[in-house]
Structure 1
Amino acid sequence: MDPLAPLLDLAGVADFFAEARDRVDAAMRHRALRRHGGQVAAEASLRAAVASAALEGHAYDVEEVRGGTVTDPVLQGSLRVAEGLGGLVDLWPRAPRQVLAKLHMLAARGVVPADDLGRLTGGAARIDALAELVSVADKSDSPPLLLAAVVHAELITLRPFAGPAGVVARAAARLTLIGRGFDPRGLIAVEIGHFAREPEYVGSAGAYATGTPDGVRSWLRHYAAAVSAAADELTVIGDGVLAAV
């Protein structure tokens, strides 16, 4: 039995995810992706990295970051993570703990002592359970959105690494969406949706941590809304790319 299946029975959750899937499908039909997909993907990745750093309390204007003038190590780590995701997609379901350590090394270099890079600060048993869930996902019927939401919530709740652990959590969720085929080109920058709804993001993550059905439902509803917001942002990016060519 799929251990996540009961979460789909929480009131409204299946509908939340279906709506987010529809919004993503619509955004993926943007005509900019036919000839300028690389430009769109690069811009989405940049904006995702900036949003993820901002959620760690290190907010900068996208244009400043694009210009290369921001040296903040948390922002730079978030950029390294965004750049490195593509090379970790295939490894993620095979060796989740190894990938989490790698993500932390990318995110936290220059922020925490070198000896702490890639090392858990706690929550090892729960990380093992999460790794098992990720490893067996290809053999289950769990929707990619549901698995990504749970991966994100578990890691943001545990914060098992020193420093910018939230960057790691958001990246692991993105890897799940990419690897499970929901967003194979890495175009849906969910971080942007989280940042746009930051109070809800923080509140629903706290609600998830209570472990109650209502708390988990609150988080899943937020995650679907963040994905929908990211789909809308993809349309904005596509419009901008077309306007510039």
Structure 2
Amino acid sequence: MSDPLAVIAELPGVPEAVREARAAVDRLYGHRVLRRRRPEVTAESALRGARASAALEGADIPLDVVRSGRAESAVVQGALRVSSEVGRLGDIWRTAPRQVLARLHVLAAAGLVTDERLLGRPRTDAAPPAGPSSAEPSVSPSAPPSPASSSSSAPSPVASDVFSHVRPGVPSGLLDLDAELGLGPAPGSEATAARIASLAALISAPSEAPALVLAAIVHAEIVVLRPFGTADGLVARAAERLTLVEFGLDPKSLVTVEAGHFERREAYGESLRGYLKGTAEGVGGWVRHCAEAVRLGARETTAVCEALERG
């Protein structure tokens, strides 16, 4: 299949969900407050997105505490560092995605690993994942789920025969993906590296699919594969936002998509488990979930605009 993303984009319910998300983003971009105060809105979106992403990892700190700089959580600090860096990584995301993912992990996992040499480095089988997923999945042009119809099923995003790790302890403050989201152990390091390389190829290849579809696959693959073994969830959501920005759906990084995922946090795990099955229904359900997160994220930022307008 020359364009697997285009196949995913046509799964049942996906075109409609993508159109609704696109319409919500367009409405946000038409808000008159953005003519004068767009940088403020972008900064607020980044702050709220970082808070929501950290909350999805189990570090649910009130927004006012995060805003004041009093949040001592290493997870929150990692989310804030990643959020501030996203705007500087767009130029190389298409051409060197693995380099970008490594950089995001360095920022996200600082303070969460005992050995700083592990920052930005893919995990090995000698050091299995210790927390939320954060590797760079490589999905070859045929690697991401690419079902041909709603009744067909694509190859499972993660092959069951590579689940070979015994789950170690999870660093304090990080979500245990195995226990909390029910994703099971991460695949072995070789299988993960192969899929990360494929994902990188997918990001760099031309596609007719909407940016939202690619962003959804990027997010899911990183969470499922857990390429780094710590802070992978933070990396996955930052990569999703970066994809929405760089591929044109949200070029000003206004949409607080992380807040959308947090608002639907129960569906977040359920949708990821569906994606993991690799069926048309499961993959399509995950993309629809991400479309709804974008819609809700646009609503969140619209509320910010209206608050600024009221003064």
Which bracket does the TM-score occupy, shorter chain normalised?
Answer: over 0.9
Residue 149 of structure 1 corresponds to which residue in structure 2?
Answer: 216
In the TM superposition, what are the counterparts of 1:178-189 in structure 2 within 5 Å?
Answer: 178-189=245-256
Residue 28 of structure 1 corresponds to which residue in structure 2?
Answer: 29
Alignment partner of 1:115 is 2:117:
yes
Give the Cα separation in 2 of the matches to 1:150 and 1:55.
18
Q: Percent identity?
A: 49
In the TM superposition, what are the counterparts of 1:138-217 in structure 2 within 5 Å?
Answer: 139-217=206-284
Give the Cα separation in 1 of the matches to 2:195 and 2:97.
13
Give the 3-state SS of the residue equivalent to 1:60 in structure 2: coil
Give 1:38 shift.
1.0
Q: TM-score, normalised by structure 1?
A: 0.97
Q: TM-score, normalised by structure 2?
A: 0.76
Contact 2:42 2:252 (C-alpha < 8 Å) held by counterparts: yes
Contact 1:157 1:206 (C-alpha < 8 Å) held by counterparts: no
Runs of 4+ in 1 over 6 A off after TM superposition: none
Looking at CA atoms only, which structure, 1 or 2, has the larger radius of gyration?
2
Give the Cα separation in 2 of the matches to 1:165 and 1:91.
20
CA-to-aligned-CA distance 1:35-72 (integer Å, 9 cap, x gap): 01111111111000000000011110000111111111
Residue 40 of structure 1 corresponds to which residue in structure 2?
Answer: 41
CA-to-aligned-CA distance 1:68-122 (integer Å, 9 cap, x gap): 1111111001000000011100111110110000000000001112011011123
Give the Cα separation in 1 of the matches to 2:262 and 2:10.
27
Contact 2:212 2:249 (C-alpha < 8 Å) held by counterparts: yes
Consecutive unaligned residues in structure 2, runs of 5 or more: 124-188
Residue 85 of structure 1 corresponds to which residue in structure 2?
Answer: 86
Give 1:162 shift.
2.2
C-alpha RMSD of the superposition: 0.9
Give 1:243 shift.
2.0
CA-to-aligned-CA distance 1:182-206 (integer Å, 9 cap, x gap): 1111101110000000010111011
Give the Cα separation in 1 of the matches to 2:253 and 2:208.
21
Contact 1:46 1:82 (C-alpha < 8 Å) held by counterparts: yes
Alignment partner of 1:235 is 2:311:
no
Residue 68 of structure 2 corresponds to which residue in structure 1?
Answer: 67
Give 1:30 shift.
0.9
Residue 95 of structure 1 corresponds to which residue in structure 2?
Answer: 96
